[in-house]
Amino acid sequence: MLAKMPDFSKARVLVIGDVMLDRYWSGKAARISPEAPVPVVHVKTIEDRVGGAGNVALNIAKLGGKVTLLAVVGDDVEGQTIKRLLEAEGVTCEFVVEKAVRSICKLRVMAQHQQLIRVDFEDLPLKFDEEALFTRLSEHLSEHKVLVLSDYGKGTLANTSKHIRAAKQAGLKVLVDPKGVDYYRYAEADLITPNLSELQAVVGACEDEQGLIEKGRELLGQHQIPSLLLTRGEAGMTLIQENEAHSLPAQAKDVFDVTGAGDTVIAVMALGVALDMPLAEAMYLANLAGGIVVGKLGTSTVSILELSRAMHGDRDSMYGIVTEDELAQLIARAKAHDERIIMTNGCFDLLHAGHVTYLQQAKALGDRLIVAVNSDASVKKLKGDSRPINGLQERMTVLAALACVDWVLAFEEETPERLYCRLLPDVIVKGGDYSSGQVAGGDCVIKAGGEVKILQFVDGQSTTAMINKARATE
């Protein structure tokens, strides 16, 4: 449906709702307690993640959107942790901090990637200065295009109708992840995103697809809401509007944990609405994102690279011979996925076994191997007028066909220094009797935190030897 990924950096989204800290204690359970028939977990790691409305905001930020989060936290360590985790990812936090409020924390004890128990720390409903929260909302409406209400029923959104009216008057689109059965509170929102069980708790059980759509439309009509995005688990998603309905099959290959999947869905929908995308196209991306996040353990987010790969398949849409600008974008995507970039350069005229062994050794140092190839003109300057034997395009085509090579590009200069300084791979690989200080571009890469590796060529293998041997047999 979409040819390329939208530029989410132009989206401005305001999120308000219940925020919480998701804490994970993980380890191994190898025995049963002698005190009670329960497993004993030897905790090895403790990890904190942000849940609820915080996870919605985090998903928006991870995809490049600009997001402000309004929420209520306590004057405690958990509240401080929530803010620290969010701000570290670029989320602007406008919290109402209440001394009498306990920040919500959900502790999950995990063993062998299975949840054994969840322990909730919360005092509900939240009691806070509602006017202070509304004042913060009013101050930020003009800076944003979309308001997301992330309702987990904890009390932050007790005054939902007031928030929706203010946002609509300011010209914002309003998206709601609802809770409970009182949908009058969400009247005049632009889009609601219940899951199937949440919707049926309001409209009753539906016998078939058509019944589901009809009851969804009745609900929309009752509350002056134009659109409903229904998440249906293994049945995918359905977008219900007054005169049309669209369904998409589920995209998840393996469902590992559905925690926070709804947060990811509404985050992607909000980004799409903020960019004025048709709702059907935004749903397409949200469906892909939901399929990704349920394959992860615990409260999780989706990255641009993961979403792009879901659109275009497991392999990048571009391999082999690329331009310099294309390569810069591919490197950025690879690094965002924590892939280690290796780069080397050379003439590679009359490719031989020594070249192949060298390139295989280079690829073994990381995840991606880039080969920069001297142009025909630069080879002549380096090797003389009789070289190259094979033209640039031929040399690049052979290199691109090697399994160990990901991307190949040409450069015109006598040395690749400018190229290395622009692209900044993690490792420059050079063959022969060099020191790292002699490698063109090495200083730039080392300064950026990379390194230079020197590999030894295979004895007795060289292009010159091949040419001399061929001439001797003439």
Catalytic residues: 263
CB–CB of 208/238 below 8 Å? no
44 HSE (CA, 13 A, CB side)? 8
CB–CB of 341/366 below 8 Å? yes
In angstroms, the Cα distances linking 456 to 40, 354, 382, 384, 403 are 52, 10, 21, 25, 21
CB–CB of 67/13 below 8 Å? yes
Bridge partners, 455 (sequence order): 431
Which structure tokens are listed for 157? 């959104």
Distance of alpha carbon 356 from alpha carbon 338, whole angstroms: 26
Distance of alpha carbon 316 from alpha carbon 330, whole angstroms: 8
Which structure tokens are listed for 101? 């409020």
Residues in the chain: 474
Residues 6+ apart with CB under 8 A from 227: 190, 191, 192, 220, 239, 240, 241, 279
Which structure tokens are listed for 418? 């400018």
3-state secondary structure of 285: helix
Distance of alpha carbon 71 from alpha carbon 17, whole angstroms: 6
Distance of alpha carbon 414 from alpha carbon 309, whole angstroms: 36
Q: Find tokens 């919290």 and name the residue.
A: 95
CB–CB of 83/95 below 8 Å? yes
3-state secondary structure of 401: coil
Angle at 265 between CA 262 and CA 269, to 5 degrees: 140
CB–CB of 226/233 below 8 Å? no
Residues 6+ apart with CB under 8 A from 97: 73, 74, 75, 79
Which structure tokens are listed for 78? 């958990």
DSSP code at position 195: B
End-to-end CA distance of the chain, in Å? 59
Q: Find tokens 């249906």 and name the residue.
A: 232
407 HSE (CA, 13 A, CB side)? 26
Amino acid at the residue 429: V
